[in-house]
Structure 1
């Protein structure tokens, strides 16, 4: 039977979904264009009306899972599951209607929710997606047609972590970097046109749940990963491991994405662990500070100016990046995820609460709140801001809200 989403459209505001001329770069991958949880869009609502911003549409039947979205060209891209199969899915951003879907391997099943976890990456006319069981696909962006596919766990003899492969691939120039966590293949670089191996690290560090970022530090372009055992910097060109640090490995689930500012690298994890700031020079990563005031669980912090804003377990925390000094803490919406756009923090709790707050170290100031009708599983799919819309997901249901200032 064909899988078709059900769409509810708020007709009075349907016209407002058009792509805005001169808008900032779109949300093309995990945590936005720079993988830092920040959108450059402006002209957004600074205050929400009672009950939240206007609903543009609600689309159901898009498949279970915790994947977030990539967005470009008036389309949203994610992964979902039905039956025994995971799919890569493209939706029309103006209406929520499905444009195409492509099978992408067998269902990942787990007691904390079935289905894929990673977010697709848009690169030119290609889309890269990694499923819960390690199925990596390069697809034609317009049609969903497969260009190449492989299973990174099978090829590199990695073991799927307990809660499933959750990373989003890191696509750079001619290559795709992923962490299969296999023997002599902690990290691998694949030719993005063919899927052929370019290099593999000699270490055998199992995969965790975090997605990598890229930075040039000391003249060396490096991908920064957070594996099961270590934070590490890997030379993008050669695969040489430049440095490692295991201070915030929690032994259970390393999830948060690293944050880089200049030569400084911030890593954080939950399960009674904490966060570390490292100063990276060449092959050394020197500890600047360690703190237990920021324990990121499933979500990463965002850096705005001199301050990090993130959920330390269930407490939203503003903390100075340079020295770890806490400016304020607030229970806000409870444990959740946070992104930033136009001087505001967008907060999405794992219980379906959504709030808008100021990104300021002075104090917590909220500018609106509403709740979606979430199901039994946590709302762990992170929100995105794209072309004047706030996109939320609860398993197979996707919501689009108009957040443009009139």
Structure 2
């Protein structure tokens, strides 16, 4: 009996010898989950969130590997084989991943496999070593296998991915399958007379999303706007330009970037110009980022890979073209070239990002020849902004670390405002609010500053900071100004601050990372939410009040809305829609 008992005790000792310790691995999994929660928390600094998203999986996988090998009580060949199998299968899976999904294997795949290994360790902690190895590698195989059958169609402003099965057609594929996008045979543009330039480029006449045309006050809860037309469009984050009944925008169609002209009243295609170019990345997907600019019968459009074209606005005929990324040896920005062309007299300004002086470039509107260029290196997603201070026209341009006022004619630097600690790539526009005051964004999700621009008796210019505020922290969402107050996005929440001191007046409206337009005559704001709704808000500083909302578009909407000729135009990377505003007044 003692022999039998001793034999049984020996079996118990052998079982105990391969029983795994699970808490060290799960501790790292909980840490990774906490970092991921911080990544999708918009109130946290955007740079910190990005570091958590990209560096978190690396740091946690190193910690996980150490815990798994040295503290799990697994046989060394089980732990090392599991980790080696995980990494090898991950490398193989990436080779067969859907387009634009590769980075998702890092951001989401590594944390997922750590969790699955920990689940397998917990489930198989008392089985024999070979069973532990089989259980964990089986779960890892299921994890990498699941990632192999999905694709990422983009990531929203909170870093939450839009996931679809890789065999399901994308919106662009459905569009290409259902439309050949050809003009009818013999179609010619009909007569077109330019009688108004109500919205000639990015964010309107002065690039400030301000509508000065008379519009009566509206109440959408009583009478929502009437939809006039709706049509599918190709991917892209371009806004729209509306001039005398014509609408110009940019979109992707297969391997071509298109500049497209539609009838603004019906949505009917009038002409398009195609350039063989395609840009896409995991966050925003495919398509151009900039918005066309109309001036003196021409349309200027800048592609995501740095191709600038000048087109005849009537026919779409190519007048001239510059492939700036190739010409100035510029690096392709991570989100593509996004600078909307800015016309100052007879020159058009775009950010090229080349070496030496080939940063911000001014080209002749008629010929495309370079008039002047200015150093401005690094990634930059903003555009030149017009300002008139003390009667002098200026181009305000933000680059990493500074905002500058330049002479549009010569490129001479008139003044500079240094942004302390400003290393973020610029995205949001500066905005003039009074004769001598600018509101300058300090960086992605950091805050804004009020900067006074004065000309001294000597003729020199001086930029003086009046205040800084963290109460309005725009990311890629431009703000608007009206009657002493600034309205815009404090990260993902709509807010209002006092333009005289930067103090918060209210913060309401969880609209995600959207955009806004101010209707000056009726003191109302149209806000497009990140989810595709349009919300009507009163532009009053002492209270927040919604006056109704409409379900406009179905998916992520980052494009700037347009109000022109008493119509509202909204688009995203899938659809474009027009609403009548004239009959919806109170």
Q: TM-score, normalising length from structure 2? A: 0.63
For 1:236-315, list aligned pairs within 5 A: 236-247=408-419, 250-260=422-432, 261-269=434-442, 271-281=444-454, 282-315=460-493
Residues 86 and 25 of structure 1: CA distance in aligned 2, closer, same or farther (over 3 Å): closer
**CA distance in structure 1 between the aligned counterparts of 2:495 and 2:436, rounded to whole angstroms:** 23
Match of 1:358 among 512, 526, 538: 538
What corresponds to 2:363 in structure 1? 190
SS at match of 2:286: coil
What is the aligned residue count? 386
Residues 146 and 232 of structure 1: CA distance in aligned 2, closer, same or farther (over 3 Å): same
What corresponds to 2:334 in structure 1? 162
What corresponds to 1:146 in structure 2? 318
Residues 532 and 554 in structure 2, CA contact (< 8 A), matched pair in contact too: yes
What corresponds to 1:95 in structure 2? 266
Q: TM-score, normalising length from structure 1? A: 0.89
Q: Which has the higher helix share?
A: 2
Q: For the aligned residues, what is the CA RMSD?
A: 2.2
For 1:72-91, list aligned pairs within 5 A: 72-91=243-262
Residues 384 and 44 of structure 1: CA distance in aligned 2, closer, same or farther (over 3 Å): farther
Query: Who wins on radius of gyration, i.e. which is larger?
Result: 2
Match of 2:240 among 69, 85, 96: 69
Residues 232 and 243 in structure 1, CA contact (< 8 A), matched pair in contact too: yes
2:288 equivalent to 1:116: yes
**CA distance in structure 1 between the aligned counterparts of 2:180 and 2:440, rounded to whole angstroms:** 40
1:199-234 CA distances to partner (integer Å, 9 max, x unpaired)?
112x24334111221223245432001223422111
**CA distance in structure 1 between the aligned counterparts of 2:525 and 2:204, rounded to whole angstroms:** 14
1:72-123 CA distances to partner (integer Å, 9 max, x unpaired)?
1211100000111110001111111111110134111111211101111111
CA positional deviation for 1:389 = 1.0
For 1:117-132, list aligned pairs within 5 A: 117-132=289-304
CA positional deviation for 1:48 = 1.1
1:5-56 CA distances to partner (integer Å, 9 max, x unpaired)?
9xxxxxxxxxxxxxxxxx9851111111111111112234511146942111
CA positional deviation for 1:391 = 0.6
What corresponds to 2:552 in structure 1? 372
Q: Which has the higher strand share?
A: 1
**CA distance in structure 2 between the aligned counterparts of 1:191 and 1:373, rounded to whole angstroms:** 38
2:525 equivalent to 1:345: yes
CA positional deviation for 1:269 = 4.7
Give 5+ residue unaligned stretches, structure 1: 6-22
What corresponds to 1:12 in structure 2? none
2:210 equivalent to 1:38: yes
What corresponds to 1:402 in structure 2? 580
SS at match of 2:326: helix
Residues 553 and 575 in structure 2, CA contact (< 8 A), matched pair in contact too: no
For 1:175-254, list aligned pairs within 5 A: 175-183=347-355, 184-201=357-374, 203-247=375-419, 250-254=422-426
**CA distance in structure 2 between the aligned counterparts of 1:349 and 1:106, rounded to whole angstroms:** 30
CA positional deviation for 1:156 = 2.3
Give 5+ residue unaligned stretches, structure 2: 1-175, 183-194, 455-459
**CA distance in structure 2 between the aligned counterparts of 1:395 and 1:248, rounded to whole angstroms:** 35
SS at match of 1:300: coil
Q: Which has the higher contact order (CA 8 A, sep 6+)?
A: 1
